Structures are given as C-alpha cells and as structure tokens.
Structure 1
Amino acid sequence: MSEPAQRLVPTADAERSPWFAYQYLVLRAVPRVEREEFVNVGVVLYSQDAGFLDAAVHVDASRLRALCADVDLDALGDGLETVRAVCRGEAVAGLDAAARPWRRFGWLEAPRSTVIQPSRPHGGLTRDPAAELTTLLDRLVR
C-alpha cells in the first residue's frame, strides 16, 4: 500500500558509511481482539543516531478477511495513516507536532487493545535505515 516516505542519501563509499543502531516494531492488524489472531501489516523503524523515524505498510485484505470476513479495511487504513502521520511529526492522536522522535516512537510502541497493535521492539544495525525499513517490510509483512 505504501512505501517509506523518507530516504537517506548514501555516501559514495558505503564501506566508510557509519552503522546506525535502530529499533523496529511490527504493526499487527488484530480484527477480533478477543481471538488474538493477527496479520502483520506494517513496520515502524526508529534510529536516533540517523535521525530517522518512518513507517511502511502493506495490507493483504484477503488474509485479513480470512480471520474476519467483515473487517473494516477503511478504519484499518485510517489507523495506519495515523501511524505514518505520527512518524512524520504531525500533531495527531494527542501528540504535539513538536514531540521528539523518541517520544513519538514510544507512543507507537505502547500496547493497545485496538485493531492495530505493535510488537515488542526489536533492534539491529544498518547503514541505511530507509532501505532497512523496506527490507523488514518485505521479510515480515509481504
């Protein structure tokens, strides 16, 4: 559905590029919270060192409908857009536009009993956070 919005410009010599620590969350669509069944629908990646916070999403409607035939895909899409807006630093969902990226990531990782739920945070190292976000989306969601 959407690709990452931000992109770092890689250096000419990738071997000399710095490594950036990052954390990521897998976003899960849980159409019937009481059943605890879910489908991965996105990834949020945060690297304080690189100054990067972004989300990428992909919704497989047929997989979701297999769990819940009447899942509200429009509401799910709205929720995922809110996640992307939080990453972009927009004033949404009770967060001030001036909220620092670490605070926005913390807000996104907080557990909720809603249709969109985050996984526990995981970490890694990368030279290119935007490319890593796409790799994680391909590996964990698509």
Structure 2
Amino acid sequence: MSKLLGYQYVVLRCVARPEREEFVNVGVVLYSQRGEFLDVAFEVDETRLRALSPALDVPALQRSLEAVRAACRGEGRPHLSSLGQRFGWLSAPRSTVVQPGPVHGGVTSDPGAELRRLLASFVG
C-alpha cells in the first residue's frame, strides 16, 4: 500500500470585476509538505471568461498564472526558499485578477495525480 501524504490546496479564481464579486475558477495550487510537492495546474476557458467580462485582458491573466507557476518553482519574485513559504504566499488573500480561494486539505498517495483530479473537478 502506498504511503498517504497530507496536502493543502487552493482553487485559483479569475475575478475580472471584483465589485460584482463574480469569478471563474481557473486553476489549483497543491502543496504537500511530506511529499515535498508544490505545483499549479490551470486551464483558461476564454469563452467562459469573456461571457463574464468581455473586456478581460486574457493575455494578462495567462501571465499571472505563469507567475504562479514560477513562484511554485522558486523562480521570480518574491524569492522564498521553502515550499511552505511559497504556498503561504500563493494562498494569501489578494485583490488582483487572480485570487486564491480558501485553503482546503486532504490526503493522497500521488500529489501530481491529485492536482490533476482537483483541476478537473473544480475547473474543467
């Protein structure tokens, strides 16, 4: 039997018009301390986003999501050395177009597969 690893995750939301409090889920960040795992998966459905906000700058959204990917890898700003610090920074509330939802947790034997499952469940 595979060893079960605890993990935490946040769903990333595109909040194109914060004053309306409307959002579309666009990604998931998953962190497992024991699994030494931190990664993001995202999927941008431009048609769905444009229905919410026709003027949304989709390339800027893509750049923001790529910045999340870079932060997971310890690249770019801010420079945080541990995976836990990076997850803490990525899961902190912010008022930008890409916002993390609440932190949730679970257990898995395969964090990468769980990330893909969560993406399909919450975004796909």
| Band the TM-score falls in, shorter-chain normalisation | over 0.9
Write the deviation string for residues 31-51 of structure 1: whole angstroms up to 9, x where unpaired.
Answer: 111111000000000000000
After TM superposition, list the pairs within 5 Å mapping 1:1-142 onto structure 2: 15=1, 17-90=2-75, 92-93=76-77, 95-96=78-79, 99-142=81-124
Write the deviation string for residues 93-122 of structure 1: whole angstroms up to 9, x where unpaired.
Answer: 3x22x5210000000011111100000100
Q: Which runs of 4+ in 1 moved over 3 A?
A: none
- Give the Cα separation in 2 of the matches to 1:21 and 1:28: 23
The root-mean-square deviation of aligned C-alpha atoms, in Å, is: 0.8
Q: Give identity over the alignment, percent.
A: 58
Write the deviation string for residues 29-76 of structure 1: whole angstroms up to 9, x where unpaired.
Answer: 011111110000000000000000000000111111111101000000
Stretches of structure 2 that go unaligned for 5 or more consecutive residues are: none
Please identify the structure whose Cα radius of gyration is greater.
1
| Matched pairs, number | 124
TM-score (norm 2): 0.97
